[in-house]
Structure 1
Amino acid sequence: MAGHRRTYPSPPQPANRHLQAPKTNCNPVKLASILTYIQASRVAHNIKDLEKHLPSVASINGMQVKDYIQALSDDSKIRVEKIGSGNWYWSFPSEEKQQVEKILAEAQATHARAEAVLADLQAKVLAAHEQQQADAEEEDEGGESREALTESKGKLMSGLGGLRKELSGYGDADLTVLEVKRKEIGKFKQETETYTDSILNMEAWMVDVGGDEFMCGKRRELYGDQLDEESCMLKEV
């Protein structure tokens, strides 16, 4: 028919467009603001809720919300799970706490090794000093000559230099750094008590949405070998 234009269907759009690679060059400060908002809320959010609130939280355009959320998800800063018919997003600082505790444990282990080397060094210095005194007394009684003692001292000082060089390799075990880490752990322990309540509330909500079997499956996925299969709860420490 004259004037009739044939139309073609548009190519299908991906169901989860927010899971594509971010198209926006995300600002680190705005990413941090979004992460703080999600963690402070202590609840899970769907994408519509985030598109409503994040523009004012991080001063971004509503069209950029999905890209910022995807960037946080790619960096494992937030969790995303499909529950029911949609995806939900949340984040708790407990994983960050675990990372700090790991760093502290490594620093403490390094410090312990440094202390062991220092103790060995001090013992050898003391032994060398006692030997020098013994040699001096022996020389006074007609023992070794001063040249022989000087040679012996040179060997001891050379060994001492090697031990000091080895000790300098443990410079990361700074007591000031360790004290800062201890304070950080104390802070995270206090926060853990607060976020534990949030996690329990989140689990109760997920049971309501997905049922006990869904919640048990999530615990098995998140807790791994720390899960008590009989009770389907985290093992007691």
Structure 2
Amino acid sequence: MSKKRGLSIEEKRTRMMEIFFESKDVFQLKDIEKIAPKEKGITSMSVKDVLQSLVDDGMVDTDRIGTSNYFWAFPSKALHARERKLEELKKQLAEYTQKKESLQENIEKSKIGRQNTAERAALTKELTALRQKKDQLKLEIETYKECDPDVIEEIRQANKVAKEAANRWTDNIFSVKSWAKRKFGFEDSKINKTFGIPEDFDYVD
């Protein structure tokens, strides 16, 4: 035998509202905690939470008198609350319907000029060809970039800087060789061989 399914939160809320509507009375929490499990099958542990959710939603009124809290709800108020909710939902539906119509209108407008006509197909083909031509021209520009006067000037300046740097190091090496010959009496050939300096080592022209 299958286990009996417990009440959902909405079923509990509905049954608790029945307590107020059927009696048209005012209750304390302790009264509800006694009535709800016995008459409506709402577990005692959930009574307080269910009641509070109804208070939060404005379906049940509450007031503190002395040291006690009292709760009540009348069908007329519930009816007005439902009517207000219905009006709110109708308003939202009207707004969403208007938004939907506006979006549909924009979609239809955006389709204008985009039909798959022979002219559109030809223009699309031409656009694709032009894009391919553009990519080809970009490759050709890169190929001939070295002929650009600005690029050539940059290369010339870079060569000049490199040449000056190379000759400075050549100066330094010749200075070290001269010092070594004076200090230790080494010959050029021995210094060149020891330090791997080519025999034709000289300044860059």
Q: TM-score higher than 0.5 here?
A: no
Computing the radius of gyration over CA atoms, which structure comes out larger, 1 or 2?
2
TM-score, scaled to structure 2: 0.36
Q: Between the two structures, name the one with larger relative contact order (CA 8 Å, sep ≥ 6).
A: 1
